[in-house]
């Protein structure tokens, strides 16, 4: 982001949008390094509220220009509060009063990805994990293996590790592991020693209008790697393999992994599925490149407890098993439901799906319609819109009808299957309370705050009642 004042090493940092998963992780890293960190965000309660409070990082609920410290030496702004115009997606303005105040007072200001780059690129052994799916789990696995191997890494992860109860780790070594966001081509800011690309399944259609434009971003990325870098890729992603093997595509040393490489690894039950074997295979390849022996890798993966919102056990309700998952792309939905169906082949599988963004729902509408064949009962909530997208052409009622139509075609032998559009989390929760018999598996699924459904069911059983906490997707 352009600003007049040059940035020197700051002592006092103020973060606008501090509750975002990435922003909160960065705040923890700064705090551990001795910086005076504070910030602000919406009044909604996110799971990161507790992480920030636990680490004594103060923040305001709500935005106000008066919150911005006049003596702040660096302002970091979440890209969720920046607006874009036209196909170029250049930053033009923001309605956020705190960002406006920082710019008006000529305070040094970085966007979140720019700030991450300034930290990441200062490490000699930077490991960046990108791709359409599996970024958070793979980066978390790598960080966990390195910690167990005694390499003391720093890490910025897109979800909270169950074992850490945190989404960040401040180490003292040259190793740092980050989840590199592909959205808006933010990953081009980073200069990794090791780059992992998990897959290149088209996503973010609001920014990348075609599959080719999405793949084009990865083409640009791999050309930036120097000869001393290592590129770790999924050998089962044909488009990615073709891209990397093209003449003069990259100067980096290329290493491939396959899901079958993960066979024989003993992962926790919540890490079931072929997609998690691929994640583990990628993490293993990275660990070997850094000299970690296979016995240490295997032991670390066996003890890896997973991350929040990835097939996360949420408890039970009157005997029904409750699971929460972040899947919000058709490929992720299919992979996750297949893994859960394999775990519970005889139990009725209920899915509460929260479509995430109107653009994604519209672009992948046909794929979503065929993604729930492993379920017995699907509830579709109203679309969870992004900060920049309040409405769209395709809604949840239409998606529910499309799933019903696909089921009539594909599952004629499954007359008990049902699809229902229920607009809100509260109504969906009450519906399940009334209809569950206790022998089901219930999955809350999506990138929004759908986890409140399974959390409310588990809390009701324990006499706690509903929760109003929301999950951060910024």
pTM for this one? 0.88
* 154 & 268 share domain: yes
pLDDT-based confidence at 221, cuts 50/70/90? Answer: very high
Domain boundary among 80, 115, 150: 115
Residues 6+ apart with CB under 8 A from 327: 333, 335, 336, 445, 446
SS (H, E, C) 40-102: EECCCCEHHHHHHHHCCCCEEECCCHHHCCCCCCEEEECHHHCEEECCCCEEEECCCHHHHHH
* 275 & 130 share domain: yes
3-class DSSP assignment, residue 157: strand
pLDDT digits (tens, 9 = 90+) for 330-374: 999 999 999 999 999 999 999 999 999 899 999 999 999 999 999
More confident position, 379 or 269 = 379
Mean predicted confidence (pLDDT) in 280-303: 95
* 248 & 388 share domain: no
pLDDT-based confidence at 89, cuts 50/70/90? Answer: very low
Query: Where does 387-436 have alpha helices with state H?
Result: 396-410, 425-435
Domain of residue 318, residue span: 312-461
- CATH number, domain containing residue 55: 3.40.50.720
The pLDDT value given to residue 80: 84
The pLDDT value given to residue 79: 87
Domain boundary among 303, 326, 346: 303
Cα–Cα distance list, 384 to 334, 355, 379, 392 (Å): 20, 6, 14, 11
Domain boundary among 277, 303, 329: 303
pLDDT-based confidence at 469, cuts 50/70/90? Answer: very low
- CATH number, domain containing residue 213: 3.40.1190.10
* 297 & 338 share domain: no
Instruction: Copy the structure tokens of residue 78.
Output: 């979440």
pLDDT > 50? residue 3: no
pLDDT > 50? residue 201: yes
pLDDT > 70? residue 411: no
> CA triplet 97, 103, 108: central angle to 5 degrees?
125
* 102 & 24 share domain: yes
How many CB atoms are closer than 10 A to CB 437? 9
> CA triplet 291, 297, 298: central angle to 5 degrees?
150
Q: Count the domains in the chain.
A: 3
* 129 & 66 share domain: no
Question: Is residue 127 within 8 Å of 196, Cβ to Cβ?
Answer: yes
pLDDT digits (tens, 9 = 90+) for 134-147: 999 999 999 999 99
The overall average pLDDT reported for the chain is 89
Q: How far apart are CA 282 and CA 452, in angstroms?
A: 31
Residues 6+ apart with CB under 8 A from 299: 148
pLDDT-based confidence at 392, cuts 50/70/90? Answer: confident
3-class DSSP assignment, residue 195: strand
The percent of residues in the chain predicted with pLDDT above 90, rounded, is 75
pLDDT-based confidence at 83, cuts 50/70/90? Answer: low
In a domain, 469, yes or no: no
In a domain, 471, yes or no: no
pLDDT > 60? residue 239: yes
The pLDDT value given to residue 463: 52
More confident position, 260 or 235 = 235
């Amino acid at each position: 982001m352009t600003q007049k004042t040059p940035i020197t090493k700051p002592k006092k940092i103020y973060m606008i949008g501090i509750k975002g998963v990435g922003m909160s992780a960065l705040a923890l890293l700064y705090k551990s390094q001795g910086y005076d960190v504070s910030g602000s965000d919406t009044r909604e309660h996110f799971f990161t509220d507790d992480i920030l409070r636990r680490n004594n990082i103060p923040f305001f609920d709500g935005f106000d220009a008066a919150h911005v410290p006049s003596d702040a030496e660096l302002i970091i702004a979440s890209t969720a509060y920046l607006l874009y115009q036209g196909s170029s997606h250049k930053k033009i303005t923001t309605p956020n009063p705190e960002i406006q105040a920082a710019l008006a007072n000529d305070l040094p200001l970085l966007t979140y990805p720019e700030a991450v780059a300034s930290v990441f690129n200062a490490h000699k052994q930077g490991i960046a994990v990108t791709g359409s799916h599996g970024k958070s789990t793979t980066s978390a696995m790598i960080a966990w293996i390195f910690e167990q191997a005694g390499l003391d890494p720093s890490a910025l992860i897109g979800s909270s590790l169950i074992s850490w109860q945190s989404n960040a780790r401040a180490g003292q070594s040259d190793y740092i592991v980050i989840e590199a966001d592909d959205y808006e081509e933010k990953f081009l800011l980073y200069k990794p020693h090791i780059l992992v690309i998990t897959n290149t399944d088209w996503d973010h259609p609001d920014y990348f209008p075609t599959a080719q434009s999405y793949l084009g971003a990865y083409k640009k990325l791999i050309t930036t790697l120097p000869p001393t870098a290592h590129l770790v890729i999924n050998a089962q992603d044909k488009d990615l393999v073709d891209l990397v093997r093209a003449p003069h595509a990259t100067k980096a040393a290329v290493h491939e992994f396959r899901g079958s490489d993960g066979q024989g690894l003993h992962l926790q039950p919540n890490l079931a599925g072929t997609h998690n074997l691929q994640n583990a295979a990628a993490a293993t390849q990275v660990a070997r490149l850094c000299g970690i022996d296979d016995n240490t890798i295997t032991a670390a993966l066996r003890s890896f407890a997973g991350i929040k919102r990835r097939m996360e056990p949420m408890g039970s309700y009157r005997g029904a098993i409750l699971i929460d998952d972040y899947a919000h792309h058709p490929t992720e939905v299919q992979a996750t439901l297949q893994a859960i169906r394999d775990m519970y082949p005889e139990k009725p599988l209920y899915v509460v799906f929260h479509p995430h963004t109107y653009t994604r729902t519209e672009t992948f509408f046909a794929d979503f319609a065929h993604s729930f064949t492993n379920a017995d009962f699907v509830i579709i909530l109203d679309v969870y819109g992004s900060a920049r997208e309040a409405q769209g052409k395709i809604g949840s009622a239409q998606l529910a009808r499309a799933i019903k139509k696909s089921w009539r075609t594909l599952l004629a032998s499954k007359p008990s299957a049902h699809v229902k559009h229920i607009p809100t989390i509260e109504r969906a929760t009450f519906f399940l309370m009334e209809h569950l018999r206790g022998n089901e598996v219930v999955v809350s699924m999506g990138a929004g705050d759908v986890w409140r459904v399974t959390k409310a069911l588990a809390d009701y059983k324990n006499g706690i009642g509903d929760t109003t906490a929301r999950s951060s997707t910024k």
